Each structure stands twice: as structure tokens, then as C-alpha cells.
Amino acid sequence: MRKSFKSVALLIVVLLLTALVAACGKGDSKVSVGIVLPTKDEPRWVQDEQRFKDALKGSKYTTEILFSQGSSAKEKENVETLINKGIKVLIICPQDGDAAAAAVEAAKDEGIKVISYDRLITNTDAVDYYVTFDSVSVGAAQAQYLVDNAKGSGEPLYLYAGAASDNNAFLFFQGAWNVLQPKIADGTFKIANSSEAEALKDTKDLSRDQLSKIIGQVTTNWDPNEAKNKAQTHLTAAAADMKGDVAILAPNDGTARSIADVFGADSAVSSYVVTGQDAEQASIQYVIDGKQSMTVFKDVRTLVKDAMGMAVDILDGKDPATTGSYNNGKVDVKAKQTNVITVNKDNVQKELIDSAYYKASDFTGL
Ligand code: BGC
């Protein structure tokens, strides 16, 4: 009798402890805001992770950041992991704008609010908000730099673009084309490496299909190695009149550095002007060293602040403030947009050091 009482009591204690441990476990894994970023392989997104961490110090909200490593399948898995941790808001920068639709639809089904971060998730109604830089003006700033630094007329122009799976690649190229096309038409530039762009050189407003054709031909897929191989192929094929002083539209810093290295190593290229974007630390060093001409500074601190501000508003039951909207092919997504800044040797100190984005000691020769 006593013996069985003892074992029942023991069983109850064990059960209570198990329940307690389970409850604690659940408590530990509760996350209110899930953040999914595309890859750790590009400094741009590691920078975003760091800026999120800086912004979240001392916050009462629990967050978790996961990386998709360039895979839409991994991205979906990450979203599912976060759904299981009870998130109420998902901040996600898609690897592939179309493919991410399935992941955010799964989140929507659970009543989670979705904020598309930097890149728009396309062709789904499961995106609630979009925080972004003014991407058309990124491309326009790059192109304007090439125009402002053009040497005479008939200068060879090499065009490169981002990945076609990224809606931003279209916006960047569209912005650049708006500025470059009149300068191609008036003979300032001659296109060196794209028969598709050449065929459209008299068309100012390109349709999505026309943009697709050019991007399909000059894409880097956001991959510095692919950019390097393409640049090498283009220079090998280029006739002498496509060398000398050249202008290069490179879509971002990672691809700009590798394209610049290829052009810098060709003795028939006497000078080059090359664009970039992201103000990556390595590119700022390239700008200081005169190897990359400019970059477009997108202050990630602002994007992070906007995304977290929206998330907190949602958690507090408020409607986040927006400044406009973007059509994603299915719906108009309410958006908050941030301006960008052209940076070259002349204003790098002011924009990036004085603003405390980087430390002077991060660079040599400043
Ligand atoms: C981002 C850029 C980035 C590129 C490659 C774009 O969507 O806006 O900042 O360089 O993707 O990751």
C-alpha cells in the first residue's frame, strides 16, 4: 500500500516536472518577430544582420534571424521554423521574389503579418508591407555618374545587371536605362556588350519583357564570379574600338569589384569608370584606392529601423505608416521608401565616416 502511494506520488512529481520543462522550453522558443535574409555569402546581408542586432539591443521583443543561403527551399524551411516558434510578424528578404510566395502564404495562413524587406515578394497577396530603398533612383544615380564622367563621345559602355529572380534588378536597370538611353541615342556612349540593349537603343521606356531580354543577356546573378567570367568573355570578344576609355554599369559592389579587377588588368583599357551599390566596406576601400569609381550608399540602419518600427506597430495593434505602394504583380503592397546617396572619393568621409556608418580605422589611405 505505502509502496504504491510512493510510486504514484513519484509519478505525479515526474509528470509535473515534465510539464514544467515543456512549458519553459516553449517559453524559451517564443519569438515575436522572425527575420529571414537571403545569404551570408554577400557582405551586404551580413551587414543587415549586424544592423538588426544593433537596433534590437535592449528591445523587449524577441527576434530571430535566419539565413536562406541562396536557396528558396531553405528559405521556406526557415519560415516554417519561425512559424513554429509562434512569430506574429515575418520580415523577409526573398532569395527569389516569385518562389518566396509559397513561404509567405504559409505564414499568412497562420495569421502572421508579412513585411517584404528590400526585395519585393512578387505575384502573391500574402505580403502586407514593403520596406525598401528607392531602387529606381539607385540605377539612375549609377547612370548619372557615368554620364557626368563620360569622356567626349563614342565611349564604349559595358552593361551588367543583377539576378532576374530579384525584382530590384529590374528597378535598378530601368532607372539606369532612363538616364543612359538618351546618351546612347546622342552618341555619347556606344554599347559594347549587349546585342539586346543595342536592338532597343531607341526605346526609352522599356517594358518588363524588354528589360528581361537585356537582363537575361548581361546578368551577373549577383555573383561576383559570374560577373568576372562575363567581363572576361566580353573583353576577349571586344574589338580595339571597344577598349580605351570605357564606362561600366555594374549593379552592385560585389560584382563591381570583380568587374573592375578584370578591366584593370586589360592593358588595352586605358581608363574605366565603374559604378556600384551598397557601400560595402571592401568597395569603400576600392573607392579610396581609385579602383571603383562610386557606390550608392543605402543606409541599412534606416531600413532596419523602418522594418522594426512597422513590426512593433503591428504587435501593438497599430497601422504602420507608409509612403506609397508597389505593385507586386498581384496586389499593391503598402510601402515605406528611403532615399539613397551617391558616394565617391570626395564625400566618403562625410557620408560614411562622419555619419558613423564606418570607422576611419576600417580603411587605409582615407
Ligand atoms: C539589393 C542590393 C544587393 C543585391 C545583391 C539587391 O536586391 O537591393 O543591395 O547588392 O540584391 O544581393
Q: Are 138 and 175 contacting, i.e. CB atoms less than 8 angstroms apart?
A: yes
Nearest to 132 by CA among 334, 308, 325, 336: 336
pLDDT score of 9: 53
Of all protein residues, the one whose alpha carbon is nearest to atom 9 of ligand 1 is 278
Q: Which atom of ligand 1 lies nearest, measured to the CA of 42?
A: 12
Nearest to 191 by CA among 248, 136, 137: 248
The rounded Å distance from CA 174 to ligand 1 centre is 15
Which range (53-67, 90-104, 319-333) has the least confidence?
Answer: 53-67
pLDDT score of 2: 52
pLDDT score of 234: 98
pLDDT tens column, 107-142:
999 999 999 999 999 999 999 999 999 999 999 999
Q: Are strands 295-297 and 341-343 parallel, antiparallel or unpaired?
A: antiparallel
Q: CB-based burial of residue 190 (10 Å sphere; 0-12 exposed, 13-18 middle, 19+ buried)?
A: middle
Rounded to whole angstroms, the Cα distance separating 275 from 116 reads 26
Q: Are strands 269-274 and 113-117 parallel, antiparallel or unpaired?
A: unpaired
321 is written with which cell numbers? 505608416
Counting ligand 1 atoms within 8 A of each CB, the residue from 46, 171, 222 with the most, and so the one to mutate, is 222
For residue 5, the one-letter residue type is F
Average pLDDT over residues 71-78: 98
pLDDT tens column, 166-207:
999 999 999 999 999 999 999 999 999 999 999 999 999 999
The rounded Å distance from CA 135 to ligand 1 centre is 10
pLDDT tens column, 213-244:
999 999 999 999 999 999 999 999 999 999 99
Nearest to 116 by CA among 279, 311, 278: 311
The rounded Å distance from CA 69 to ligand 1 centre is 14
Q: Are 167 and 211 contacting, i.e. CB atoms less than 8 angstroms apart?
A: no
The rounded Å distance from CA 247 to ligand 1 centre is 21
Q: Sorting pLDDT into bands at 50, 70 and 90, what band is 28? A: very low
β strands within the chain, DSSP E? 33-37, 63-67, 89-92, 113-117, 129-133, 155-159, 189-191, 244-249, 269-274, 295-297, 324-327, 332-338, 341-343
pLDDT tens column, 3-19:
454 555 544 444 444 44
Rounded to whole angstroms, the Cα distance separating 144 from 179 reads 6
| Sole residue written with cell 524587406 | 117
Q: Are 108 and 54 contacting, i.e. CB atoms less than 8 angstroms apart?
A: no
Of all protein residues, the one whose alpha carbon is nearest to atom 5 of ligand 1 is 222
Rounded to whole angstroms, the Cα distance separating 221 from 93 reads 16
**118 phi and psi, to 5 degrees?**
70, -50
pLDDT tens column, 253-305:
999 999 999 999 999 999 999 999 999 999 999 999 999 999 999 999 999 99
Q: Determine which helix (DSSP H) or strand (DSSP E) holds 179, and give its type and residue range.
A: helix 167-185
pLDDT score of 24: 40
The rounded Å distance from CA 162 to ligand 1 centre is 8
Counting ligand 1 atoms within 8 A of each CB, the residue from 39, 41, 42, 44 with the most, and so the one to mutate, is 44
Pocket of ligand 1 (CB under 6 A): 42, 44, 118-119, 162, 166, 168, 222, 252, 277-278
Alpha-helix residue ranges (DSSP H) falling in 219-266: 224-237, 253-264
pLDDT score of 60: 85
Of all protein residues, the one whose alpha carbon is nearest to atom 6 of ligand 1 is 168
pLDDT score of 23: 41
The rounded Å distance from CA 121 to ligand 1 centre is 14
pLDDT score of 7: 56
| Sole residue written with cell 564625400 | 347
292 is written with which cell numbers? 571603383
**pTM tops 0.85:** yes
Average pLDDT, the chain: 93
**115 phi and psi, to 5 degrees?**
-115, 115
Rounded to whole angstroms, the Cα distance separating 186 from 184 reads 6
Ordered structural domains, the chain, with CATH: 24-127+300-338 (3.40.50.2300), 135-298+343-362 (3.40.50.2300)
pLDDT tens column, 331-354:
999 999 999 999 999 999 999 999
The rounded Å distance from CA 287 to ligand 1 centre is 19
Rounded to whole angstroms, the Cα distance separating 143 from 273 reads 11
Q: Which atom of ligand 1 lies nearest, measured to the CA of 252?
A: 10
